[in-house]
Amino acid sequence: MNLNWEEITHVTKADPAKELPRDLGILAGTDAVMVGGSDGVTAENTLDTIRAIRGSFPDKLVFQEPHSSDHVSTDTIEAVDYLAVPAVYNGDREHFVGKHLDMFTEVGSKPDEVFGSGLPVLGDLVAAKGRDAVDRIGDKIVGEGYVVQNPESKAAAVTGAESPFSVEQVVGAALATENFYGFPLFYLEYSGTYGGPEDVAAAARYLDDAALLYGGGIESERQTREILDAGADAVVVGDCFHDDPERFRETIPS
């Protein structure tokens, strides 16, 4: 993934199951939008969200971050710049390798079927040719090493991440992300709570190529700056984008 993360410091997380702010102009100051969520998300409302954002900001960088095969279709893939597929290190097997293996199993086992618009992709991929299908979507798929640090969150419940990682384990996950798996993204997710800079600073020392994203509880520019100063490439802000647009504006670094 050839992205200049020096120019991407603020990412907005848009949940397709939640109502978008009436004025999408508040996205003017964010550098990218990541579309995804857990409850109530479908490929259809994901596509609607992506199209609404594209309608207001056609040149804005847009990722889709799916948590289920039902959230992805060829239409959503065509509508975004990248599909960021999480591998949750402290989650269950299904959310680390299971879904990824399912995807490529489907590609290989159905090489002569039509890669049709609107059909689910992750886990139920329908392809014209196995390798051709991978080539067609492969330049958009990026792996995302992922650590869920709030065991009380919906993200933890969905992924089976029952225990947060220690600082040492966060460092191990960062090292694995870049040096073993070769993922271009490493995401520390605190899901609605502010985790502070400690894990960020620890992980950042070991990441040269992978971009470090932090999400969770960002409600002010001070918090954004604290996380960026600790070594994150970008903060991801979601809840207040939907719930409090004015507070959301305050998270964008000036």
Q: Which homologous superfamily does the CATH classification assign to the domain defined by 5-102+130-250?
A: FMN-linked oxidoreductases (3.20.20.390)
Is the pLDDT higher at 129 or at 13?
Answer: 13
Residue pointed to by tokens 């100063």: 229
| The predicted structure's pLDDT at residue 135 | 63
pLDDT (0 to 100) of residue 77 = 86
pLDDT of residue 113: 41
| pTM of the predicted protein model | 0.87
Q: List strand residue ranges (DSSP E) for 128-218, in order.
A: 141-148, 185-189, 211-215
Q: What is the pLDDT of residues 50-71, one digit of tens each?
A: 999 999 999 999 999 988 777 8
Q: Where do the structural domains in the chain lie, given as residue ranges?
A: 5-102+130-250
Output the CA torsion 58→60→63→69 (10° steps): -20
Task: Say if residue 5's pLDDT is above 90.
Answer: no
Give tens-digit pLDDT for 114-123.
344 444 444 4
Quick one: pLDDT at residue 126?
Answer: 43
| Residue pair 223/251 in contact by the 8 Å Cβ criterion | yes
Does residue 39 or residue 136 have the better pLDDT?
39
In the predicted model, is pLDDT for residue 203 greater than 80?
Answer: yes
The answer to which of 155-164, 195-204, 222-231 has the lowest mean pLDDT is: 155-164
209: pLDDT strictly greater than 70: yes
Which pLDDT belongs to residue 141? 87
Q: Residue 9: count other Cβ atoms within 10 Å of its Cβ.
A: 19
